[in-house]
Chains A and B, each alone.
Chain A
């Protein structure tokens, strides 16, 4: 296809389009007219200090919350929309797992909601468990999991149905550096397979691994671009310095 960059048709390249999105809890404006676009097949990072509104934005994208102003489209559809929900994999900031059930049972349950079943389900569980390095612990009740293991299981749940879009809210919190590296390698592989990934983080070296980044502070996008652009524009050597320069670091 030969499409002009900025025409309306270009939206078929866009996975998430947020236009002037605002969200307010009581009197507190948590998101203030945020506009950004996540292109298909990229890893897009949301970077920002605690309380800057990352989770709030992500929940708007997945349709779990409705913006007070502006609009959000995901895969060309205004959210929330059921058939779009089946094409995304969501990992919430806090693990939403059934503690009494084993990891395998958790995976089975969530996957059947997406229509997986039978042998392909069993095979997929093995594959995904391998990816997040939980193959040996599948039969354990999740109550007995460590924090990092739960995190990885949540990621596995999000990956099970091979979604086109992954929305991950701080996926690597509590995961040790070695596993974290392997998780990011996996995200990289998925991206190469055409999956779009929207990920929130406050870890700077993870921000470096994103294709593009939006820096959030007090509900506003204070910077947006590739890590290299952001560093160059702020004359910083590291993401950390760039973040501080943009006013994100010091409260």
Chain B
């Protein structure tokens, strides 16, 4: 009853505060869209110059998305590349294909290599027609960088915005004195935390569904596994963010200090959530990553979205996330002791 009253009040406040509501629901979509544009922008068709390359190879390159310019001699082509008009030059060294890369942009190197490999593979079979069967472990070879990052970002945005908004609203409850006022009523401390969980939980559910739907259906991030599991993981991540945000707000005096937690708490999680390959990190640093909620959320989301992982593969991640939430919530109830002993 009291928990419901608290949750109901939070919902009412939310509905009146259109801007915050919009931030929570639309900002993740906006940033995801921007990310998509940025990453897709990087995958621009490689500009390849060819020197005395046979027609079928040029066609193969073009069909793989390259922007091909044929040249008569090597010098011309290399000069063009020197002016950064080309990303690579293909030529024949005797009968062996040779590639000279412009080489200043790692993404472009990758793009060129991908196109070249695909084309040569296609031509490699000396059968007629030149067809080489391509097979992929996951997906059909149309995965781009955004699929990989996107699967993690979907979870990250749930986490980030819920962390901030829940933290700030709990902080304001304290700085405006309403928390004290609440604790002068027979409301129990755990009921305060539960009320927040319920009230915000409804919005995080809404947010998680919206992000998951938008990312997979509108932006077209790969989704091999079940949409429902993506939703579940997003929700669990958001709950961890909610409890962590409200807990940490106890250690901030004002909104500005709440924002100071972003570089301390949020940014490190980005590094550890798999956007950067963890294997290259020292052992102890990897252990640090495993103490952060986003690590588990990202791990599960990548599994579901890119590899079609099912419940059997992600239940450990789920349980760890629930454990984080429970831990943070309990600590929160204890932190409220500062305001009322019982």
The CA of A95 and the CA of B187, in the complex, are separated in Å by 19
Q: Check B340 against A92 for contact (C-beta < 8 Å).
A: no
For A, the interface residue count at a CB cutoff of 8 angstroms equals: 30
**Interface assignment of B118: CB less than 8 Å from any CB of chain A:** no
**Interface assignment of B182: CB less than 8 Å from any CB of chain A:** yes
Q: Check B342 against A113 for contact (C-beta < 8 Å).
A: no
The CA of A95 and the CA of B328, in the complex, are separated in Å by 30
**Interface assignment of A66: CB less than 8 Å from any CB of chain B:** yes
Q: Check B186 against A85 for contact (C-beta < 8 Å).
A: yes
**Interface assignment of B13: CB less than 8 Å from any CB of chain A:** yes
Chain B interface residue bracket vs A = 20 to 34
Q: Check A96 against B181 for contact (C-beta < 8 Å).
A: yes
The CA of A80 and the CA of B8, in the complex, are separated in Å by 27
A112 proximity list for chain B (CB < 8 A): 1-2, 5
Task: Output the least CB separation between B7 and chain A (Å).
Answer: 11
Q: Check B185 against A114 for contact (C-beta < 8 Å).
A: yes
**Interface assignment of A62: CB less than 8 Å from any CB of chain B:** yes
Contact with A along B17-39 (1 / 0, CB 8 A): 10000000000000000000000
Q: Which of B62-70, B172-180, B262-270 contacts A (4 or more CB under 8 A)?
A: B172-180
A96 proximity list for chain B (CB < 8 A): 176-178, 180-181
The CA of A83 and the CA of B186, in the complex, are separated in Å by 7
From known contacts A94-B177, A95-B177, infer whether A109 and B5 are also in contact, taking CB-CB under 8 Å.
Answer: yes
Task: Output the least CB separation between B337 and chain A (Å).
Answer: 10
Q: Which of B156-187 contact A (CB under 8 A)?
A: 176-178, 180-187
**Interface assignment of A97: CB less than 8 Å from any CB of chain B:** yes
Point out residues on A near B: beta carbons under 8 Å.
62-64, 66, 80-83, 85-86, 88, 90, 92, 94-101, 105, 109-110, 112-115, 141, 157
Q: Give the top 9 A-B pairs by smallest Cβ distance, nearest first.
A: A96-B181, A112-B5, A96-B177, A86-B186, A90-B184, A113-B185, A96-B178, A100-B16, A109-B9
22 contacts between A and B (CB under 8 A): A63-B340, A63-B342, A64-B339, A80-B342, A82-B186, A82-B342, A85-B185, A86-B185, A90-B184, A92-B177, A92-B180, A92-B181, A94-B177, A100-B13, A100-B17, A101-B12, A105-B9, A112-B2, A112-B5, A113-B6, A114-B185, A141-B16
